[in-house]
Amino acid sequence: MSTEASALAQTLVQHSEEDVLQALELYDSFYPHARQQLLQQYEREPLKRYTGEILSFNPDKHFGFIRAPPEAELDKDVFCSSNEMGHFQVGESVTFTLIFNKNQQPQARLLQGPDGSVPQFKGYDESGPPLKLMRTEQPKAGYMGQGGTIRVAPPPPRPAIKVAITPPPPPASAGKGKVVNRPPAGPPPSFANGRPLVNPPPRAAMAPQNPPMVATPPAPCPPQHLQQQQMTSRLAGTILSFVPEKNYGFIGSQAAMAMFGKDVFVSSAEIGSFSIGEAVMFDVVQNAKGQPQARNLEACSLTLPAAGQEDPNRYVGTITSYNADKFFGFIACPEAMAVYGKDVFVSSYEIADCKVKDTVSFRVVLNQSGKPQARDLAPE
């Protein structure tokens, strides 16, 4: 979501609902082709708003952070720029709309104070770089507007650059009216018995002080199978495809997708008797190009959830950390790591009386960013 969109939203909320609706009616008349997009937008669920405390703000860097509310199920605090922060101060409680940037990092937009106040977009101060919204451009020559053609004056000519050339210093004189002749440039002449030699004898070649250096050939690169790096944990996934003629296929794994951003290659030597659609556990190695490949396949005892469906499994893991100031912690579980590729987030609402190093059982749901969250904790 662009900065311009936030600035426009801050302006709209300063007006009454009736004024905004009338403005949208005028907008619809100006851009009638956008009506379908507007209707589709209003059919979606609105972005959620949360309340949190402003933890910090750096005026030199023009940004700060808002404490992540537990109900948002975030594993980090929420970024907030100076354009959104406005007049609010550290320690104040604000309500904001939560969005995620292209890197899936949480950001706060359209802040509102307890009294209903919303800061007006003003850009950075004079010490910071100007924003694109604050930049103005001159109209181009030939643009036809009301009243005729706008003519833009040509830019003023650049001033001529004057270069001062300093003359060389005069030859040094030896007394009044006498000029000392300087010797010509070049190496000094050789002398013998006080007289210069016309053809001096060649100098004897000097023996080298150090023995000649011998280039050492580079060490040979190890074979490709020795360059592969094996991951420490096993992953779970479903065989998506296999082409017998090409002797390879691919395994779909949410954990591998989170780690590598792609499905996992599997060769005919590894797939064995498994077929498309079966759930498997496997080791992952990276070849010389960093691409994931499956090794040591075996049947998976977990029921892997399909995309968009709830995970039916109940996991057992250990609480490895909990931050009482931020109201969240994490659970380490090998089975959950195999499915999701990361430790499981747990909020203060779920952790209850459990403590770090306690063994617990739990369900897993995914938040808006697709990250695993623990639910229904029970001590083991």
Question: Over 90: is that where the pLDDT of 318 sits?
Answer: yes
- What band does 170 get if pLDDT is binned at 50, 70 and 90? low
Residue 110: partners with Cβ closer than 8 Å, 6 or more residues away = 6, 9, 10, 13, 84, 96, 97, 118
Tokens coding 328? 């969240």
- Separation between Cα atoms, residue 73 and residue 374, nearest integer Å: 10
- Per residue in 59-74, pLDDT (tens digit) is 888 899 999 888 888 8
* Burial class of residue 249 in the structure, from the number of CB atoms within 10 Å of its CB (0-12 exposed, 13-18 middle, 19+ buried): buried
- Separation between Cα atoms, residue 332 and residue 322, nearest integer Å: 12
> Does an H or E element contain 4, and which?
helix 3-12
Higher pLDDT, 291 or 165: 291
CA distances 355 to 334, 365, 366, 376, Å, are: 19, 21, 23, 15
What's the chain's average pLDDT? 77
- Per residue in 9-26, pLDDT (tens digit) is 878 887 888 888 888 888
Q: What is the pLDDT of residue 270?
A: 94
DSSP state of 247: T
Question: Over 60: is that where the pLDDT of 351 sits?
Answer: yes
Higher pLDDT, 148 or 245: 245
Question: Over 70: is that where the pLDDT of 370 sits?
Answer: yes
CB-CB neighbours of 124 under 10 Å: 15
Strands 63-66 and 49-58: antiparallel
- Separation between Cα atoms, residue 61 and residue 41, nearest integer Å: 34
pTM: 0.40
Question: Over 70: is that where the pLDDT of 52 sits?
Answer: yes
Q: At what angle do helices 17-30 and 35-43 cross, to 10 degrees?
A: 140
Q: Which residue has the tokens 């270069």?
A: 163
- Kindly state the average pLDDT of the residues 135-145: 41
Q: What is the pLDDT of residue 141?
A: 41
Q: Report the percentage of the chain scoring pLDDT > 70.
A: 70
CA distances 137 to 7, 127, 132, 133, Å, are: 19, 22, 11, 11
- What band does 205 get if pLDDT is binned at 50, 70 and 90? low
